[in-house]
Amino acid sequence: MHAFINNLINSDFSYMLFIAIILLSTKFLGLVTMKFRMPQVVGALIAGFILGPAVLNLVRDTDLISSLAEIGVIVLMFCAGLETDLNEMKKTGAASFVIALIGVLLPLAGGFGVAYFANSDPDLILHDVFIGIILTATSVSITVETLKELGKLNSHAGNAILGAAIIDDVLGIIGLTIVMSLADSSVSILIVLLKIIAFFIFAVIACYLFRKLYSKWTSRTEKDLRRYSITAFAFCLLLSFCAEFFFGVADITGAYIAGLAIAKTSKTEYVTKKFDTLSYLLLSPIFFASIGLKVNFSGMTSTIWIFAIVLTLVAIITKILGCGLGAKLFRFTTKESLQIGIGMISRGEVALIVASKGEKMGLMPPQYFGPVVLMVIVTTIITPVLLKIVFKDRRAGGGSAAFGKLA
């Protein structure tokens, strides 16, 4: 039986089996979590967790699955951009900046503190700072998905979260770069900062030009609309690629900005629908499941478990306090401040990417990888659950989420 399953999951064709299992289990558990009044994303994450090495060890996180997950998160962020109201966002711009800033500084300090107490070697202070850096980066995709399911993506708090998450991303990159440049003389802080500024200038110009041409082109005809979706997708992928390749900025930041560029044109609704289909039918189930697939608890000692639990708690509390405080300073109500703080809790693939980069550079001991993954999983699962609670109001949920309208 065991040998049979091994054959099954190691054949050249197992990717079809993997995708089929992911599609069925994420949808099924999504419907189950929905029955318990939790967002379907939670079910999808749990599905990945159960299928992966932590429980059943049935589905492998192969290169194909990772790549599809990466394309999936790009499409997810692109859709978030498409649905963003830029005018509303401008209103929350300054607030978003302060929310992001305090929401980065507090987790940085918190992560440093936890690592400092766990680590007795004073020579390794940079390692402790690195753990702090890992805690800074919010992964907004889960929140976006949940807010879409709840129909709250374009609320006042929703826009503040989106804006803050973008800025948070940039602050995280700056933080990571500073630590890496202290550890490695080949990375210069100044150059990295200049690159980030250059990216935003480049993105604004590219988006301005593209939007002008695209609006003109798409307003010409109502027939043969497929070319509009294809061109939009290509633009999104190109901007994501440029962000990573030329400027060292996260691809999802590029994808989100590309979405902003195409928001509110005459064909935006049509294009958004098509990307929703692409997302829910293949890419986003794989993305959410792949996060769960990364969890592996084998080889974690009890000390490491305690470290993991404390780190996770600190990650949650510092983000709520930091972002909530930032929101409060800008006269958001207490309820909204809590919504914003909770919306920023989840750490996803960014934290994992940062951690694996740090491990490669010798900035993070390998035994800390387990705690980081646990922190990512817990914050990711807890975010939609808490969001649902704090966004609760009279109206039943709506919106067009990648995991389906609520029945």
Residues near its own copies, by CB under 8 A: 8, 11-17, 19-21, 23-24, 27, 31, 63-64, 67, 71, 74, 221, 223-224, 226-227, 229-231, 233-235, 237-238, 240-241, 244-245, 251, 274-275, 277-278, 280-282, 285, 403-407
Nearer to its own copies, 230 or 306 (CB): 230
Nearer to its own copies, 21 or 345 (CB): 21
Q: Least distance to its own copies from the beta carbon of 3, Å?
A: 14
CB 4 within 8 A of CB 351: no
CB 336 within 8 A of CB 327: yes
Q: Least distance to its own copies from the beta carbon of 246, Å?
A: 10
Nearer to its own copies, 65 or 372 (CB): 65
Closest Cα partner for 262 from 289, 238, 292, 283? 238
Q: Least distance to its own copies from the beta carbon of 315, Å?
A: 27
Closest Cα partner for 72 from 10, 145, 20? 145
In 3-state terms the chain splits into helix, strand, coil percentages (rounded to 5) of: 75, 0, 25
Nearer to its own copies, 78 or 307 (CB): 78
Instruction: Tally the C-alpha atoms within 13 A of residue 287's C-alpha that lie toward its C-beta.
Output: 26
Nearer to its own copies, 201 or 281 (CB): 281
Nearer to its own copies, 212 or 405 (CB): 405
Q: Tell me 396's DSSP state.
A: P
CB 364 within 8 A of CB 336: no
Q: How far apart are CA 236 and CA 240, in angstroms?
A: 6
- With a CB cutoff of 8 Å and minimum separation 6, the contacts of 244 are 250, 251, 254
Q: Least distance to its own copies from the beta carbon of 336, Å?
A: 30
Q: Least distance to its own copies from the beta carbon of 345, Å?
A: 27
Q: Least distance to its own copies from the beta carbon of 343, Å?
A: 25
Q: Output the CA–CA distances (angstroms, integers) from residue 98 to 27, 95, 166, 200, 332, in the order listed.
A: 37, 5, 12, 19, 12
CB 154 within 8 A of CB 83: yes
Nearer to its own copies, 15 or 305 (CB): 15
Q: Least distance to its own copies from the beta carbon of 338, Å?
A: 30
